[in-house]
Structure 1
Amino acid sequence: MRRHLNTIYVTTENAWVRKDGENLVVEAEAQELGRAPLHMLSGLICFSRAGASPAALAACAEAGICVSFLEPNGRFLARMEGARSGNVLLRRGQYRSADDGGRSVPIVRGIVAAKTANQRAVVRRALRDHGETLTDEACGALARAETRLSDVVRRVLLNDSVALLRGLEGEAAQVYFAVFTHLIRAEEFSFSVRSRRPPLDPVNALLSFLYAMLGHDCRSALEGVGLDPQVGFLHADRPGRASLALDLMEEFRPILADRLVLSLINRRQLTSRDFVIEEGGAVRLTDDARKTVLVAYQERKKDELVHPFLNEKVTLGLVPHIQAQLLARHLRGDLDGYPAFIWK
């Protein structure tokens, strides 16, 4: 079983990352902010204008540590990686499957069904845990959404067209986000519609930020087993887009990102003062709020659960790596199908 490795998030403006022996050291204004052994790391994510020494980047490449540079709101800028792992036969199998509708449809069907089922689980959890405190309007809307999401899952399992499956995934997202505001119990926050580039309210800013973190983890998981993150099944190929990483993260958006957004807001760990409105209307987190979210994200990944396919207890942060391995096994012919992850 793969070890649960750590990710360093560098959020301090103009910070510098350097190598010291077998450690990565983060410093700013001639003061050391932290250090971590290279063998305990899987990723280094730098926000804003953080930089790194050539020796640190070379050490990361050799150790298989992915280095990503992002804007303060989580928007991807650049990425550095070392020699690709895996073998050419696995990637050739991936490319052939992506071009073969008969082989790609079952994979897409599993991903869309799992994502929709996990969205439904978020709605069900809210009804179960907070149904007594919700208004009749909210309870009714959530109950109808649960029914509609169940119907989408049923239709997904009966469908054999990638184009139609993409349409059903969009329908489920529309139903889910239409009632997302009813999952928010803090009065100072509200949600009306999903806005991405840029996010136009605090909830969307949180969702986009955590989706960027999740995307990094999913891409690293795929590269770790030798798959090409650019060539997907649900998401069409597009220059510069990691389509397979987007495919993989669909199963985890409701669990790792959406539920964490709701927890941070509903537990009052974040307030409206933790967000900044920029010129043009874009909303982003403050530096302190970003650190709060990153700590909570790392803690969330430590939660344990029983994997539904392996029937083994694992941490939530390891699930993307397990799913990437299961997908690789399917593409190599070791598994008859790809068992998408359904949260229970």
Structure 2
Amino acid sequence: MKKSIYVFTNGEMRRKDQTLYFEGEEGRKYIPVEDTKEIHIFGEVNVSKKFLEFCSQKEIILHYYNYHGYYSGSFYPREHLNSGYMTVEQVRHYLDEDKRYRLARLFVDGAGDNMLKVLRYYQNRGKEVGAVADRVESALKDAEKTQDRPMLMAAEGHMREAYYSAFDPILQNKNFRFEKRSKRPPLNRLNALISFGNSILYTILLSEIYKTHLDPRIGFLHTSNFRRFSLQLDVAEIFKPIIVDRLILKMVGKQMLTKKDFDQKLNGILLSENGRKKFVAEMDERMKATVKHRTLNRKVSYRRLLRMELYKLQKHIMGEETYKPFVSPW
């Protein structure tokens, strides 16, 4: 399985013959080209034209994050799986309001079902989240009654608001209070974790979209306007609860992250460099972890689940098979 590499320190990346290396304060470290799928760059890293050309040749994507740890852009190699037919069909689904709404509904349905899976998991472990689960279920039913995307987005917002209110009774940690959703900048530690985790998931999905015929610029739930990419935002809605949120609740619940892993800024709170390293290490392990797939009757990694979801979406757009969002069985 190819690896994701995360670079937090400052330095430079260069090509030497048929290999790549990073050189920073701790010296030179070589990058296993054939085993690398993407590089996430958090530090100030200089790259050369030869380095980028080699990355493109080897289909290695570079994801860049700003000083605060937020995604800022990607070096996306020349698209080798471009499909004119798929692009045309994807645009047709976007322009046909009925087709677009149906796909948007499915993304919201999948997100709601997986939120409920998380809540029932903790309810079965003695956490008082039954009332919250009922509110999420009610909001999900409201979403099913909507007639257009604006109404759907409003119902989805109410559903997510109810869902996040369960974080406090689950964690019962005075240093990690949710209060309300805040971002850019997050106003507390829990919101900082949610924003950072979501950002990592978005970039991982972008890498997976690159391996399909889909165009990441054309989303269905999220508007394709001046935003560069939106499709990964759609698909991420399904997986945020079972990948990002479960990981956050685990790391905070087991004190793998504490208040010492955050920095107080003038207008908000952000993960420190050490906190980011801890989180991405666990996220990387999460993506490699395998689970039993009921349909295939074999184990697949969470990363593979993301790719499979995109393949299902492709088949739906081509009219081969109606899309059904992944719902966690565990």
Q: Same fold (TM over 0.5)?
A: yes
Superposed, which structure 2 residues align to 1:267-278 within 5 Å? 267-278=254-265
Distance 1:37 1:331 in 2: 36
Q: Which amino acid aligns with 1:265?
A: V
Q: 1:265-306, CA deviations, whole angstroms, 9 ceiling, x for partnerless residues?
A: 111111111111112x22112212211111111011122223
Confirm or deny that 1:340 pairs with 2:319. Answer: no
Alignment match, 1:265: 252
Contact 2:136 2:160 in 1 (8 A): no
Distance 1:269 1:116 in 2: 27
Distance 1:311 1:112 in 2: 26
CA apart distance, 1:232:
0.7
Alignment match, 1:209: 196
CA apart distance, 1:264:
1.1
Confirm or deny that 1:314 pairs with 2:309. Answer: no
Alignment match, 1:299: 285
Contact 2:140 2:156 in 1 (8 A): no
Quickly say closer, same or farther: Cα 1:333–1:39, change in 2 above 3 A: farther
Aligned residue pairs, count: 328
CA apart distance, 1:159:
4.1
CA apart distance, 1:22:
3.8
Quickly say closer, same or farther: Cα 1:102–1:36, change in 2 above 3 A: same
Distance 1:194 1:155 in 2: 21
- Extract structure 1 runs of 4+ deviating beyond 4 A: 308-311
Confirm or deny that 1:23 pairs with 2:27. Answer: no
Contact 2:217 2:228 in 1 (8 A): yes
Alignment match, 1:121: 117
Which sections of structure 2, spanning at least 5 residues, go unmatched? none
Superposed, which structure 2 residues align to 1:228-239 within 5 Å? 228-239=215-226
Distance 1:176 1:285 in 2: 23
Q: Which amino acid aligns with 2:290?
A: E
Contact 2:2 2:37 in 1 (8 A): yes
Q: 1:207-227, CA deviations, whole angstroms, 9 ceiling, x for partnerless residues?
A: 111111100011121221021
Distance 2:20 2:312 in 1: 32
Residue of structure 2 aligned with 1:50, choices 45, 58, 62: 45
Q: Match of 2:124, SS? A: helix
Contact 2:8 2:43 in 1 (8 A): yes
Confirm or deny that 1:98 pairs with 2:94. Answer: yes
Q: Match of 1:341, SS? A: coil
Q: 1:33-61, CA deviations, whole angstroms, 9 ceiling, x for partnerless residues?
A: x4332222221111131222322211111
Alignment match, 1:69: 64
Quickly say closer, same or farther: Cα 1:87–1:315, change in 2 above 3 A: same
Q: Which amino acid aligns with 2:70?
A: R
Contact 2:218 2:229 in 1 (8 A): yes
Confirm or deny that 1:325 pairs with 2:311. Answer: yes
Quickly say closer, same or farther: Cα 1:148–1:101, change in 2 above 3 A: same
Contact 1:186 1:268 in 2 (8 A): no
Quickly say closer, same or farther: Cα 1:153–1:312, change in 2 above 3 A: farther
Alignment match, 1:250: 237
Superposed, which structure 2 residues align to 1:177-188 within 5 Å? 177-188=164-175
CA apart distance, 1:317:
1.7
Which sections of structure 1, spanning at least 5 residues, go unmatched? none
Superposed, which structure 2 residues align to 1:146-165 within 5 Å? 146-165=133-152
Q: Match of 2:38, SS? A: strand
Distance 2:137 2:176 in 1: 28
Report % sequence identity. Answer: 26
- TM-score (norm. length: structure 1): 0.90
Confirm or deny that 1:83 pairs with 2:78. Answer: yes
Q: Which amino acid aligns with 1:5?
A: K
Q: 1:319-342, CA deviations, whole angstroms, 9 ceiling, x for partnerless residues?
A: 11111111112112221x112111
Distance 1:311 1:165 in 2: 34
Quickly say closer, same or farther: Cα 1:36–1:48, change in 2 above 3 A: closer
CA apart distance, 1:18:
2.0
Quickly say closer, same or farther: Cα 1:169–1:241, change in 2 above 3 A: farther
Quickly say closer, same or farther: Cα 1:80–1:176, change in 2 above 3 A: same
Superposed, which structure 2 residues align to 1:159-178 within 5 Å? 159-178=146-165
